Amino acid sequence: MYYAPHNEYINREAKIVLAGITPGWTQMISAYEEVLKGIEMGKDTEIILQNTKKAAGFSGPIRKNLTEMLDHCGLPEALGIENSLSLFQENSHLLHTTSIIKYPVFISGKNYTGHHPAIDQSPLLSRYAYQEFAEELKHIETQALVIPLGVTVERVCRKLLEKEAAPVHSFLFGFPHPSGANGHRLKQFHQNKEEMRNLIEDWRGREFKGTCD
């Protein structure tokens, strides 16, 4: 496990929370580049961390795969925005990106994928997934829609729900991990697409009702 700065900032007003397994190498590099740029420009620490989150959160090719699937789920319509890519741009105030394991983890020089070891078999990884991540969700002050990316993250989120560790949020289960290495992502997405669209509509109805109340 290595330190990277882009998961330090929490957008407490986010309506959408995208949760991956752990930051990868690409995100780690993007985060440090953004921090160095901010320091050179003399920016405030809070602004640097906020900009780092925007720059590094699901950066690289994974962002294209992710936003295209979110578009097909009807997320832009639920939020009243043009497209999901804008969540990383002009509508970033609606988005919080994070990982169930806050910092980058590498196994044999490669990005950790949630296996070998399994999260539950590692005391360190379990602490981050079931304690640190759960605590982070408590800082989100809205009735957010949490989107676990892939089965490993979904499994952790389901356990948190069982423990009532994230009671105010809704969860969009069934969303595949958007990595290009996940060759089954499109098949899994189309299998779950209609159910996910319905879940998003249900969340929007509850979120709107909560706002009115």
- Confidence at residue 6, expressed as pLDDT on a 0 to 100 scale: 86
- Confidence at residue 31, expressed as pLDDT on a 0 to 100 scale: 92
Mean pLDDT of the chain: 91
Please compute the mean of the pLDDT values over residues 177-193 and round it to a whole number. Answer: 84
Q: What is the pLDDT of residues 85-135, one digit of tens each?
A: 999 999 999 999 999 999 999 999 999 988 889 999 999 999 999 999 999
Using pLDDT thresholds of 50, 70 and 90, give the confidence band for residue 163: confident
% of residues, the chain, pLDDT over 90? 75
Please compute the mean of the pLDDT values over residues 24-46 and round it to a whole number. Answer: 93
- Confidence at residue 210, expressed as pLDDT on a 0 to 100 scale: 56
Using pLDDT thresholds of 50, 70 and 90, give the confidence band for residue 209: low
Report the alpha-carbon distance of residue 197 to residue 182 in Å, rounded: 22
What is the fold, at CATH topology level, of the domain defined by 14-22+60-212? Uracil-DNA Glycosylase, subunit E (3.40.470)
Report the alpha-carbon distance of residue 153 to residue 104 in Å, rounded: 15
For residue 181 the two structure tokens come to 């290495």
Please compute the mean of the pLDDT values over residues 2-25 and round it to a whole number. Answer: 93
Looking at the chain, which runs of residues are DSSP E strands? 16-20, 95-99, 106-107, 110-111, 145-148, 170-171
- Confidence at residue 159, expressed as pLDDT on a 0 to 100 scale: 94
Using pLDDT thresholds of 50, 70 and 90, give the confidence band for residue 54: confident
- Confidence at residue 211, expressed as pLDDT on a 0 to 100 scale: 55
- Give yes or no for residue 169 having a pLDDT over 80: yes
- Give yes or no for residue 41 having a pLDDT over 80: yes
- Confidence at residue 208, expressed as pLDDT on a 0 to 100 scale: 59
Residue pair 62/177 in contact (Cβ under 8 Å)? The answer is no
- Confidence at residue 26, expressed as pLDDT on a 0 to 100 scale: 87
Amino acid at 170: S
Using pLDDT thresholds of 50, 70 and 90, give the confidence band for residue 166: confident
Residue boundaries of the structural domains of the chain = 14-22+60-212
Place of tokens 């397994």: 21
- Confidence at residue 59, expressed as pLDDT on a 0 to 100 scale: 77
Residue pair 147/189 in contact (Cβ under 8 Å)? The answer is no
- Confidence at residue 183, expressed as pLDDT on a 0 to 100 scale: 74
